[in-house]
Amino acid sequence: MKPGPIPLLFALAVATASTAALADGPDDAKGLWLTAERDAVLRFEPCADKPSALCGRVAWDKDAGKPNDTCGVQIAQLERYADGAWRDGWVFDPRDGKKYRGALRVKSGDLFLRAFIGAEILGQTEQLKRVDKLPSTPVCKP
Amino acid sequence: MSLAHPGLKTALSAAAAVAALLPCAVQAAEEIASFAVETEVKLVSDQRTRGVSDSLRGPGLQLSAQLAHESGVIAMAQLSTVSKKYYTNSDGYSLLLATGYRFGDPDGWHFGAGLAAEFFPGAKFDAPFAFDMETGTPADFRTTKYDTRYLVLEAGWGALEGRVVNVLSKSYRGANTGGVCGQMLQFMADPTKALECYARGDQNARGSLLVDLGYKYPITPQTQLLLHAGYQSVRHFSEGNFADYSVGVTHKAWGVQWTAEWMKASTRVRELYQAMDGSTVKAADKPALVLSAAYKF
């Protein structure tokens, strides 16, 4: 007899963190955030053409100046803040030019960016750390 | 940033890696993706299921593809190498197919339900389903395959995941009278327990329950502590009941998910998890530190 499986049926959606959220305000998401692998910094701020929404762009890229430089690329736009999260928006993957639904939360001082298909349960979360300034090199050209 | 940034690659979900592979997935840049497919290759030092080695404590390879649709429907296919000695006559791999539906809040309560089927191509064994007490010989030899079908129910709260799996097929990975009683007869020095097993008559394992509880605790954005406890209750064959535990750490670096887990299965009848390796008996339930490296492509 062989032991039964632990089917990975539902492994599609693995929340990498689910700490209980304290009530954070909509402004907490604004600023500079370093990706978990320390390869990019995203800047979240009110969208230029729609101040009620929150936009995210690549503010620093470790590959700045190289052919795969993504400095300045908009990677997220979230329309409204409700129930502790920026919602009703999208995140963008420049590599394949695809957009996914997105949600953004600040919990315990970290930023949790979730990209998902349909409902939030079918997605993945990236945890980002706040930084005060951009790394000195390489430099993203304006 | 292409997912030139591995970190953002994670963030931008399963779909990111796959869209380019499927022509039908091509969409206009402004459209929001309605489905995602994620593929992964994983190397393991020991291919284990519920803490017991499917690879008879040898290294293994796993390929998986998972699909999620915006409706909540999900599906997966997973190929894993298995030991031909442990899964007798096997082609050396198993195939797990599953589909289901998931809903809820990933940070709060979430639920899922689905069906799964596990196949072991070529794998089968002949074993006695009865024991003739008058002649003292095994009788009623039949062939059993390891293939198994499951009903899967899941409930979770945040990073705490619970799963209950019900066995729908008559045989559970080879567990039936021939598989359990026959294995005990073959490997136990004292045949008394095996004869007691046969005395219960011809039984099957449909209705067996597998319960799992898992938790992922984020240590850093790139590193998580993994905790798991499980229990399997084999219907009509309590000899196959056991609990399993694992504790480990997983860390993502260079686009690869590196994991080290200590796995232990507290089997009641260890002979059920043994196989001949040459002239020696090898235990598949020996605790082990399992290392793995997984790469999404």
B115: confidence class by pLDDT, cuts 50, 70, 90:
very high
Residue B124, CA atoms < 13 Å, CB-side half-sphere: 8
The half-sphere exposure of B55 on its side-chain side, counting CA atoms within 13 A, is 17
- Chain B segment 147-206 residues within 8 A of A by beta carbon are 148, 150, 152, 154, 158-159, 161, 163, 165, 167, 172-175, 179-180, 183
Beta-carbon-side half-sphere exposure of residue B266 (alpha carbons within 13 Å): 8
B37 in A contact zone (CB under 8 Å): no
Give every CB contact of residue A70 below 8 A, 6+ residues apart in sequence: A40, A58, A61, A63, A94, B1, B2, B4, B5
The two tokens of residue B132 are 């003739």
Q: What is the mean pLDDT of residues B186-196?
A: 93
Contacts of A104 in chain B (CB under 8 A): none
Above 70 in pLDDT, residue A2?
no
Please judge whether A36 and B7 are an interchain contact, meaning their C-beta atoms are less than 8 angstroms apart: yes
Test B5 with A61 for CB contact under 8 angstroms: yes
Contact in structure between B231 and B243 (CB atoms under 8 Å): yes
Q: Is A127 helix (H, G, I), strand (E, B) or coil?
A: strand
Which CA distances in Å does B242 have to A132, B19, B147, B153, B268? Answer: 52, 41, 20, 20, 6
What is the pLDDT at residue B31? 86
List chain B domain ranges: 15-210+267-288
**Which residue, among A70, A78, A126, has the nearest Cα to A101 in the 3D structure?**
A78
Which of B18-27, B117-126, B152-161 comes out lowest in average pLDDT?
B18-27
Q: Is the pLDDT of residue B105 over 50?
A: yes
Percent with pLDDT over 90 in chain B: 86
Q: pLDDT for B17-76, tens place per residue?
A: 333 333 333 333 468 999 999 999 999 999 999 999 999 999 999 999 999 999 999 999
Nearest to B111 by CA among B64, B149, B164: B164
Q: What is the ipTM of this complex?
A: 0.76
pLDDT of residue A7: 38
Q: Using the predicted structure, report yes or no on whether residue A15 has a pLDDT greater than 80.
A: no
Q: Give the whole-angstrom CA distance, residue A71 versus residue A76.
A: 14
User: What is the rounded average pLDDT for all residues in chain A?
Assistant: 83
Name the residue among A36, A56, A46 with its Cα closest to residue B250.
A36
Q: Give per-residue burial for B171-207: e unless 16+ CB within 10 Å, then b.
A: bbbbbbbbbbbbbbbbbbeeeeebeebbeeeebbbbe
Tens digit of each residue's pLDDT (9 = 90 or more) over A62-110: 999 998 888 999 999 999 999 999 999 999 876 667 899 999 999 989 9
DSSP string, B152-212: EEEEEETTEEEEEEEE-SSSBTTBBIIIIIHHHHHH-SSTHHHHHHHHT-S-B-TT-EEEE
| Kind plus residue range of the DSSP H or E element containing B143 | strand B137-145
Q: What is the mean pLDDT of residues B197-208?
A: 96
What pLDDT score was predicted for residue B259? Answer: 98
pLDDT value of residue A93: 75
Q: Which residue in B20, B159, B252 is closest to A96 by CB distance?
A: B20
Task: Find how far residue A28's CA is from the centre of its chain.
Answer: 14
Q: Residues near B207 by Cβ (< 8 Å), separated by ≥ 6?
A: B166, B167, B235
**H or E element in which residue B125 lies:** strand B124-132
Here the tokens at position A26 are 């909509």
Phi first, then psi, for residue B16 (nearest 5°) are -55, -40
Distance from CA of B133 to the nearest CA of A (A): 24
- Tell me the pLDDT band of B243, cut-offs 50, 70 and 90: very high
Q: Do B9 and B288 touch, CB atoms closer than 8 A?
A: no
Contacts of B11 in chain A (CB under 8 A): 35, 91, 113-115, 124-126
Rounded mean pLDDT, B160-169: 98
Q: How far apart are CA B65 and CA B296, in angstroms?
A: 10
Query: Residue B30 has what pLDDT?
Result: 64
Sequence-distant (6+) residues with CB within 8 A of A42 are A32, A33, A35, A56, A57, A58, A59, A75, A76, A128
pTM over 0.80: yes
